[in-house]
A and B are shown apart, each in its own frame.
Chain A
């Protein structure tokens, strides 16, 4: 229901939130860490969308990226390893009026939290998921993660990892109910911002994998792409993200990709050379679980009482003989 004049008048009366309103504690990430770029983009988004801090919640699991809620001056839930998504789903279910963001990492999401991630994609609840993917466990000082490059030597893999890394974007696209899948990189801030903005505006579960540099434990991991713009592939479309003209000059490798084309999205997702950046898949028709489960009546005390009584009426308790 809308109350336009009243609402407009009241909005005018309200304060405008500058970016500082969204800054929480001082980040303790290493200097040079890509997480900083993601934090800056998210704070910009909150400012530009004028999200009420008390109506916004950031939920995270465990890991470097999962320190995110501490650095936002909004509600936050720094939860259990791999369990950010079920917590966020619970919040969205009970409080659909809140803007729910999930911040997770490659270890948190693709290792211990994989089951939750897959099912969260399936449930398609309206939230924005930012998956920081630096390909390493940084908080615990250098252990291989599911997205670490093959052959990476780390404390847990002294002879190098044996397996190919998982591709989180391809996995997401494999879930029938996925409704928004995108890939961003921390070193193209404008594109990062535009993708997060598109994810935020999408109604449904918006999964954004953000490739992010870890200068401490995996320096140079993305150098070949950071230093050579021609190795990047920017996806351009009116229904996804429109590449800004100034970016188009530096990153000349552009593809018109219609995000409704899931098969092409799968092809694009499967390559790193060039590295695709943009919205790979988007389906606005996919129903959200919270809408499917929306009660058609209000649970007033009277209703709750009558439902309970109806339920209790099915039982007869005989006093012990």
Chain B
């Protein structure tokens, strides 16, 4: 019982440091031990900075700088030692670009690359590194892709990436739409042109003259030609109503403002008259959609009519009433999907009640509206229960709620996952219904007061830690990927998804410089420990007081209450001098971590990992198989009975009755040539006996004899007075 009153236990239960040598970690720049290797991200080749490419012509629109460089090296650097200099130079330049971006420089990839080149050349060889070779630099520079904007990770990254992906998807959509529109317009114009070629104006002397051209105009008498042609009767001029209908469709197609027209001279885009599709709140987006709806209806209607006119399938009697009543009820998801999607970028605004209500309306509308809900904080104190931690309220709950709507594409991720998940982002943007991208930026707990002498940890690390600690697990729900949860719901974007907490190797040296390594888990507690606001929930323990009652937090969470009694959970942290500490954790934080663990377990089950239904079914099946082999025997008896009953259904009629095995008829005309009243073809052009009285038994026997596949069975004669019956019956015998 003494142990419960130890300073460590007291801190664990009360959060108060009362005696002992426990110390606060708040101002000492403590970080979870596993983050010790990530002091300077610019030295590391990782997902950021990103390069956003425009007009990729099929190439990916988002790529990481290190992937771009690796690809150049794969393609341009010779294998072996020969390419070593090129590889080293490219990697030095890549690092230099990363430093430039970290220091706030902005620009395109080629601009930053050149800047990095000149920086390195100016100190060429001065810092002891090998000199850079101009020739090699040129080779790399020439291989660099163009048009890429380089962005580093910051709080605006999710919005930048999303807008860029949205633009890429819209441009592709606009290209397809424009092609379709041009095709319809061209074909409709051809109909009108064909009509005009048959009209009187086409036979006008001036029109004929311009058609011939200037080279040979003296060889023709256009007045006489016009007289002769004018008298010719040309049938098939367009009826006035059809002509007007086509004109009206053409003007609707031309007036559309949903996409910029690409059919300008030389195929250049004309940007005028396009509308805005990116919003920062739901209400204006919905309003814009409502206002544009009539135009959408008339455009889709015009395109449908155009298609019918082109195929000459427009029938006024049926189609006029149909199109008179054509309104928004007829607009389907596929129609809307061909028009631009809306993008709403929300930032920490989903806690406003009105916005939340609007968001639910947007997501349940089935409309192609894409929502980026960026959350800057996922660990908050609950307003109604002071001191209690809540996490993921804004992010996870929003995404989980949307799961219930069924047709919404959902991606939950932290900003650090954006590059890995960029294909899912594109899938969500091309999904024909609404999409929700719930992204945690890593902003929460950003230090307001920087701890003495310790540099700020990059935002990227916090975002990445949110994924690793399961505080913001990655999941994708893609309703377009299939019909069942197995194909729709994915959690494999998470590190080590089969575990509750991911486990990594951590190496350190003791005071005698001996190297050790151990596997440690990265938990929700570690994630919270990165957040200065919650520094008071942790207390450092001097090495002299370390004892066996201290248990790693991940292990502690697995203990039941009895085993846990007396034990105190700790996590490993490092201070600004890279010294390792055990830091004990307050009980309420462990409680929150357990909540996080359960939430992750639920999500994982949905994703088919360690699924409780599957486990039960597997156990039941195993039991079943082991249990009764005789059941299987009984089952096969049933099958045999079924087979017998099926074969009875196909039993041929008795041999007295004439019949044809119609499904086997090869339509060879033999029988219908003999008597086309007795034998007829059915809907599949296969013969059957239609009327026995329409012919003689002799004809029936002849038909049976001439049938190529011997499927006519003459049976017995129905008229006993027919001559030569005995001989005929003898001939028929082999066919019955």
A39 CA / B666 CA spacing, docked (Å): 10
Alpha-carbon distance between A6 and B267 when the two chains are bound, in angstroms: 31
Partner of A40 from the list B176, B334, B647, B667 (CB cut-off 8 Å) is B667
- The reply to whether A43 and B685 form a contact with Cβ atoms under 8 Å apart is yes
Q: How many residues of B contact A (CB 8 A)?
A: 48
Interface pair B646/A31, CB less than 8 Å apart: no
- In the complex, A267 has a CB within 8 A of chain B: no
Q: Does A3 contact B (CB under 8 A)?
A: yes
What's the nearest-Cβ distance from chain B to residue A5, in Å?
Answer: 5
* A218 at interface, CB cutoff 8 A: no
A113 to B639, CA, bound (A): 52
Interface string of A38-65 (1 = CB under 8 A from B): 0110011000000000000000000000
The chain A residue with its CB closest to the CB of B331 is A5
Nearest CB of chain A from residue B200's CB, rounded to whole Å: 23
Q: Which residues of B contact A302 (CB under 8 A)?
A: 263, 265
- A3 and B334 within 8 A (CB): yes
Q: What sequence of 0s and 1s flags, for each residue 653-664 of chain B, a beta carbon within 8 Å of any chain A beta carbon?
A: 000000000011
B182 at the A/B interface (Cβ < 8 Å)? Answer: yes
Q: Mark B675-714, 1 if CB is under 8 A from A, else 0.
A: 0000000011110000000000000000000101110000
| Cα–Cα distance between A29 and B667 once the two chains are bound (Å) | 12
Docked complex Cα distance between A186 and B710 (Å): 14
> Are B335 and A4 in touch, CB under 8 angstroms?
yes
Is the CB–CB distance between B684 and A44 below 8 Å?
yes
**Known A32-B670, A36-B669: A5·B706 in contact at CB below 8 Å:** no
A298 and B183 form a contact (CB under 8 A): yes
Q: Is B266 an interface residue (CB 8 A)?
A: yes
Task: Give the contacting residue for A189; candidates B180, B331, B667; CB below 8 A.
Answer: B667
Specify which of A3, A4, A7, A189 is in contact with B665 (CB 8 Å cutoff).
A189
State in angstroms the CA–CA spacing of A190 and B684 once bound together. 10
Q: Is the CB of B267 within 8 A of A40?
A: no
Rounded to whole Å, the gap between the CB of A110 and the closest CB of chain B is 23
B278 at the interface (CB under 8 A from A): no
Partner among B315, B322, B331 whose Cβ is within 8 Å of the Cβ of A9? B322
> Could you tell me if B304 and A246 are in contact, using CB atoms closer than 8 angstroms?
no
A172 to B185: give the CA distance in the assembly, Å: 42
Q: Which residues of A contact B315 (CB under 8 A)?
A: 13
Chain A residue with the shortest CB-CB distance to B664: A189
Asked if A245 CB lies within 8 Å of chain B CBs, one says yes
B338 within 8 Å of A (CB atoms): yes
The residue in chain A whose Cβ has the minimal distance to the Cβ of B710 is A227
B357 within 8 A of A: no
The contact of B685 among A1, A44, A187, by CB within 8 Å, is: A44
Q: What residues of chain B lie closer than 8 Å to A44, measured between beta carbons? A: 684-685
Contact flags (1/0) for B170-193 with A, using CB distance below 8 Å?
A: 000000100110110010000000
Query: Which of chain A's residues have a CB closer than 8 A to the CB of B669?
Result: 27, 29, 31-33, 36
- Whether A3 and B335, one on each chain, are in contact in the complex, defined by CB atoms closer than 8 angstroms, is yes
Does A286 have its Cβ within 8 Å of any Cβ on chain B?
Answer: no
A residues in contact with B665, CB < 8 Å: 189
Q: Does A2 touch B at the CB level, under 8 Å?
A: yes
Residue on A nearest B303 in the bound complex, by CB: A3
Interface string of B619-654 (1 = CB under 8 A from A): 000000000000000000000000000110010000
- Across the interface, do B335 and A190 meet the contact criterion of CB distance under 8 Å? no
For A226, the closest partner residue in chain B by CB is B709
From residue 316 to 356 of chain B, which have CB atoms closer than 8 A to chain A?
318-319, 322, 326, 330-332, 334-335, 338
Which residues of chain A are within 8 angstroms of B673 by Cβ–Cβ distance? 31
Chain A contacts of B685 at CB under 8 A? Answer: 19, 39-40, 43-44
Residue B668, interface by CB 8 Å: yes
Shortest C-beta distance, A68 to chain B (Å), equals 14
Set of chain A residues within 8 Å of B664, measured between Cβ atoms: 187-189
- Known interface pairs A10-B304, A31-B673, A226-B708; 16 further A-B residue pairs with C-beta atoms within 8 A, sorted by A's residue number: A2-B334, A3-B304, A13-B322, A18-B683, A31-B670, A32-B706, A32-B708, A34-B668, A36-B666, A40-B685, A44-B685, A188-B664, A215-B708, A245-B646, A300-B263, A303-B267
Sorted nearest first, the 4 A-B pairs with minimum C-beta distance are A37-B666, A40-B685, A40-B667, A31-B669
15 contacts between A and B (CB under 8 A): A6-B330, A10-B308, A27-B669, A32-B669, A33-B668, A37-B667, A39-B685, A186-B666, A187-B708, A246-B663, A249-B650, A297-B267, A298-B183, A298-B186, A300-B186
